Structure 1
């Protein structure tokens, strides 16, 4: 997957609030109604891509600190863009919910308003029995494919 991602166009590099505003200004109205794919590289660089983009492609196949989806809205007053929705939903990277502080710090550095925590936290676990990636729902740590018990701790390192 990483090899294919390196040949796909990467996400837009967002290095400042102005970069974010310019990138969002270039989006169609229908795109703005949905969250966007994001990655936060190990180098601290935030990248954005349309929602149905692969996270590994968005990151250029590089390691990440965080990945998922961000939904943006205009704030009251000056109408600056802010993050209204934030998740770690990335089946390419399966990031742990503990990556929130890294994303929060990156958004703060850019001057982008944000929620205090994930609005949609996702718990990922890899099944030790069959290797399948799983999303844990309702605290049910059972593999969706083979019904084995999933580890309680994140295991995608």
Structure 2
């Protein structure tokens, strides 16, 4: 079953980026080159080009500047996955060398990788075969704080309550 992740972040962020451009849909390597050139993306100190990404509901990668919010990249819509992506460029070829599911606005499960993989293979772009860093998100059933689970320790960082093993980030949505 394919899960669509709805935005679960704060309304403050949603409203603050309402007028921001939607991420650019990448259907080919040429689209990727054009996005990099048009937005004047520059490699970081490791020579990698970083971007915010979502996989939209139609299964395509959308890219925005790394400092963009995922909700803006997605145009406010539900997504199949989201995170950060890092490209290397070598002798006319691009490759995804690092990719995460880090998005506290959508909190996609690590299992959303299958949707990312399909989107990358449509382009086609070589990739590492999975998220290079996976984040586990859970919402505390007591204080409602969003948590990133570290070292397999399912405890709320705020109130020390045990966190569920099953994804629950769409529960107890926070409105600020």
Alignment of 1:47-58 (within 5 A): 47-58=62-73
Contact 2:24 2:62 in 1 (8 A): yes
Larger deviation, residues 145-154 vs 5-14:
5-14
Structure 2 residue aligned with 1:74? 89
Alignment partners' CA distance in 2, 1:29 and 1:118: 20
Within the alignment, does 1:90 sit opposite 2:103 as a pair? yes
Stretches (4+) displaced over 6 A = none
Structure 2 residue aligned with 1:119? 132
Find 1:106's aligned residue among 119, 139, 142: 119
Query: Cα distance, 1:59 vs. partner?
Result: 0.5
Larger deviation, residues 87-96 vs 48-57:
48-57
Query: How many residue pairs are counted as aligned between the two chains?
Result: 155
Structure 1: segments with no counterpart, 5+ residues? none
Find 2:56's aligned residue among 33, 41, 47: 41
TM-score of the two chains, using structure 2 as the length reference: 0.81
Contact 1:88 1:120 in 2 (8 A): yes
Within the alignment, does 1:62 sit opposite 2:77 as a pair? yes
Within the alignment, does 1:137 sit opposite 2:167 as a pair? no
Alignment partners' CA distance in 1, 2:18 and 2:26: 19
Within the alignment, does 1:28 sit opposite 2:52 as a pair? no
Within the alignment, does 1:19 sit opposite 2:40 as a pair? no
Contact 1:35 1:85 in 2 (8 A): no
- What SS does the corresponding residue of 1:6 show, helix, strand or coil? coil
Alignment partners' CA distance in 2, 1:147 and 1:137: 13
Structure 2 residue aligned with 1:152? 165
TM-score of the two chains, using structure 1 as the length reference: 0.90
Contact 2:49 2:88 in 1 (8 A): no
Relative to its length, the structure with more helix (as a share) is: 1
